[in-house]
Structure 1
Amino acid sequence: MTQTGIPFVFMRGGTSRGPYFNRADLPEELDRLAEVLIAALGSGHPINIDGIGGGVAVTTKVAMLSPSEDPWADVDYFFAQVSVSDRLVDFKPTCGNILSGVGPAAIELGLVTPTTDETEIRIRAVNTGAKVVTKLQTPGGVLTYDGAAEIAGVPGSAAPIALNFMGVVGSSTGKFLPTGQLRDEIDGIEITCMDVAMPMVLARAADFGLSGHETLAELNENKAFFARMEAVRIEAGARMGMGDVAQSVTPKFGLFAPARDGGTIAARYFMPWDTHPNMAVTGGQCMASCALTPGTIADGLLDRPTASPANVVLEHPSGTIEVLVNFDASEGFALNSAGLLRTARKLADGRVYVPAHIWQGP
């Protein structure tokens, strides 16, 4: 055999897409695992012509599932972000959109058996340690993808998938405010560095000469902005205790502006070397938390809710995303949990093939 076939389920999870594997079907050693994922996705080419990636960061994501080693959880979810064209794999972050498909994929892969008309699955995000409870529609004990739930950035409707995130504060750095301050300044730009579900560097769009309501194309074409933003991100990463982040997708970057379409605040999220077409689930939690925290760079950009739980509506390039934040404001801001509604759909299953000289199988 000149190729190795690896079983997988191909899923859309939220506004992302990628293969979902049983972790047992992949190499244990991370360097070899990275080579397998690069080959499977076709990383190293702008349209991933020799793999099943889609040529953009939201379609070169990978989920690897296994029975959980944590007695609290049912499933362990290990995430990998595969680059489109640089042959890089980042195992540091997690992805909340891909997590939307973890529950259905766990059922499809035989790791979880549906129970009643609604099945609750407890998920441990291996990369960050976050604990997530997802609820799926399983009428008569059968997983369904049909439903009336709609999310911005995805055509049509599907069955709702409820996600409730816990234990996401300090997910990567161990701190809510990794620099110890509500605000820092780098290159004349005032920022807030925050770690909730995803470590992020947050700034005001106006400080970059932007409105914060630019389209996806307008932002991606603004090379001067990206160059300045990347310099700020790299320095912020060092101050956050994350080391040299020049080759890492974390920390992510986000911009705030006043809402103009009835939301709580306008937000733009970067991955970080291009603009997210919608809003990441993890990034949405961090940006909603920043918006709710007095003293951050979000001050003055919104009418800040003070009662918990608060429904924070983030306006993004494709519409809005709602984050239901349960928090304690008795002493500053303390996040208890964040809930979101997503959808997912199985697109294909079978085997994806990689050259045998890369890996010959378990």
Structure 2
Amino acid sequence: MTGWPEGIRCTLMRGGTSKGAYFLAEDLPADPADRDDLLLRVMGSPDPRQIDGLGGAHPLTSKVALVSVSADPRADVDYLFLQVGVEEPVVSDRQNCGNLLAGVGPFAVERALVTAGEPQTSVRVRMLNTGDLAVATFPTPGGRIAVTGEAGISGVPGTAAPVLIEFPRGGGPLLPTGNPRDVVAGTEVTCVDNGMPTVLIPATALDVTGHEAPKDLEEAQALAGRLREIRLAAGRLMGLGDVEHTTVPKLSLLAPPRDGGAVATRTFIPVRCHTSIGVLGAASVAAGLRVRGGVGEGIAQLPPTGGRLRIEHPTGFLDVETDVAYGADGRPSASRTAVVRTARKIFDGTVFPRPADRSFRPFRS
């Protein structure tokens, strides 16, 4: 083979506290296996440094967003999130990513899938991973996407234009097991899904404080074994089946807040400790804290009325507006969830994947 491989138009964006490659779905192969093989070569996987691709050697920077015009009358665009493995040839569509979601609306406007409004634009997004809906609203003065603004989020230097993301009430149960508490692998937990299947665990139940640095938690071998045991058992209990090769459910350790928030968290994806917290993971934590009888009782410090909860994480905090209501059947549901994120276009151009290696095929999960 001579010359460069065929290039693909790509936009690299930071969305919230993640970074990923955004593509129009029509620019990639329709066959999932061929698409995943291509994305592994684009991101430089499998390789711990992802030295030969766009990936940043961490799950938070090895992500892909596929965007297309939606056929659903409730949405303007469809968004498929793909988590690309770093050290393994794995591409997973088993979860959403609320951080990359922050960039979907601006990307859709830039690629002319949606016409910008004045002074702001709202883009209705259908998240294909779960079928859930979201509305992203961001400033577009003069019909152009605002590049600067005063919104700051922990884990990202500086400020930028805000992207308000609102999630309507989901169709699935907030408590997938039907219980505010379950005993999983000998540990009391709360299994919750407010956009992201998440297992809430009191940090002290795993013999840690929940305030440790992510690196220290990752190096604790005994903790890793306990977390794996809980995740595999909780996955089955939550109706997710065998989660050995998936990144859901997330595991969030809960500890008393230290900086004026509602709770301190340490979240695993699935074995790497998140340096902050995902948007949908935080939404699930916030809703789970409002469930009567959940494991957050006695740990979290909640305001007397509903509304905004500040979720502390290793590099700061994430504010989530959430309310939980109980129906006539006594089951809780999240009646409203909203967060503010920011996004920034880093480059828009052509990415050249490394040549195909037929010695392996990607493992899909």
Same fold (TM over 0.5): yes
Partner residue of 1:248?
246
Deviation at 1:30, TM superposition (A): 1.1
Q: Within 1, Cα distance between the matches of 2:266 and 2:356? A: 42
Partner residue of 1:282?
280
RMSD: 1.6
SS at match of 2:324: strand
Q: Within 1, Cα distance between the matches of 2:73 and 2:171? A: 21
2:39 to 7, 12, 37: 37
Partner residue of 2:134?
132
Deviation at 1:45, TM superposition (A): 0.4
The one-letter amino acid paired with 2:315 is: S
**Contact 1:293–1:332 (CA under 8 A) maintained in structure 2:** no
Give the alignment of 1:228-307 within 5 angstroms: 228-305=226-303, 307=305
**Contact 2:214–2:266 (CA under 8 A) maintained in structure 1:** no
Deviation at 1:277, TM superposition (A): 0.6
Cα 1:327–1:187, aligned 2, differ >3 Å: closer, same or farther? closer
Q: Within 2, Cα distance between the matches of 1:190 and 1:239? A: 13
2:223 to 218, 222, 225: 225
Aligned residues: 354
1:153 to 136, 139, 155: 155
Cα 1:269–1:312, aligned 2, differ >3 Å: closer, same or farther? same
Q: Within 2, Cα distance between the matches of 1:37 and 1:337? A: 35
Q: Within 2, Cα distance between the matches of 1:285 and 1:169? A: 15
Give the alignment of 1:72-83 within 5 angstroms: 72-83=74-85
SS at match of 2:113: coil
**Contact 1:44–1:86 (CA under 8 A) maintained in structure 2:** yes
Q: Within 2, Cα distance between the matches of 1:168 and 1:27? A: 30
SS at match of 1:110: coil
SS at match of 1:290: helix
Q: Within 1, Cα distance between the matches of 2:133 and 2:169? A: 6
Q: Within 2, Cα distance between the matches of 1:107 and 1:224? A: 47
Deviations 1:211-263 (A, max 9, x none): 11111222122222112101110011111121111101111111111112110
Q: TM-score, normalised by structure 1?
A: 0.94
**Contiguous gaps of at least 5 residues in structure 1:** none
Give the alignment of 1:1-362 within 5 angstroms: 3-168=5-170, 170=172, 175-305=173-303, 307-308=305-306, 310-329=307-326, 331=330, 333-355=332-354, 357=356
Deviation at 1:108, TM superposition (A): 1.9
Q: Within 2, Cα distance between the matches of 1:344 and 1:219? A: 29
Q: Within 1, Cα distance between the matches of 2:64 and 2:147? A: 20
Q: Within 2, Cα distance between the matches of 1:48 and 1:182? A: 41
Q: Within 1, Cα distance between the matches of 2:29 and 2:229? A: 35
Deviation at 1:296, TM superposition (A): 0.9
**Contact 1:294–1:332 (CA under 8 A) maintained in structure 2:** no
Q: Within 1, Cα distance between the matches of 2:4 and 2:301? A: 61
Cα 1:357–1:259, aligned 2, differ >3 Å: closer, same or farther? closer
SS at match of 1:8: strand
Q: Within 1, Cα distance between the matches of 2:67 and 2:191? A: 31
Q: Within 1, Cα distance between the matches of 2:300 and 2:176? A: 24
Q: Within 1, Cα distance between the matches of 2:199 and 2:103? A: 27
Partner residue of 2:363?
none
Deviation at 1:109, TM superposition (A): 1.7
**Contact 2:261–2:301 (CA under 8 A) maintained in structure 1:** no
Q: Within 1, Cα distance between the matches of 2:169 and 2:70? A: 16
Q: Within 1, Cα distance between the matches of 2:313 and 2:78? A: 30
Deviation at 1:169, TM superposition (A): 5.4
SS at match of 1:347: strand
The one-letter amino acid paired with 1:322 is: D
Q: Within 2, Cα distance between the matches of 1:278 and 1:168? A: 24
Deviation at 1:299, TM superposition (A): 1.2
Q: Within 2, Cα distance between the matches of 1:265 and 1:25? A: 42
**Contiguous gaps of at least 5 residues in structure 2:** 359-365
SS at match of 1:3: coil
The one-letter amino acid paired with 1:255 is: L
The one-letter amino acid paired with 1:127 is: N
Q: Within 1, Cα distance between the matches of 2:334 and 2:37? A: 38
**Contact 2:174–2:332 (CA under 8 A) maintained in structure 1:** no
Deviation at 1:334, TM superposition (A): 2.0
Cα 1:244–1:332, aligned 2, differ >3 Å: closer, same or farther? closer
Q: Within 2, Cα distance between the matches of 1:339 and 1:298? A: 21
Q: TM-score, normalised by structure 2?
A: 0.93
Identity rate of aligned residues, in percent?
A: 40
Deviation at 1:269, TM superposition (A): 1.2
Pick which of 189-198 and 338-347 moved more.
Answer: 189-198
**Contact 1:161–1:343 (CA under 8 A) maintained in structure 2:** yes
**Contact 1:42–1:48 (CA under 8 A) maintained in structure 2:** yes
Cα 1:301–1:294, aligned 2, differ >3 Å: closer, same or farther? same
The one-letter amino acid paired with 1:338 is: T
**Contact 2:257–2:301 (CA under 8 A) maintained in structure 1:** no
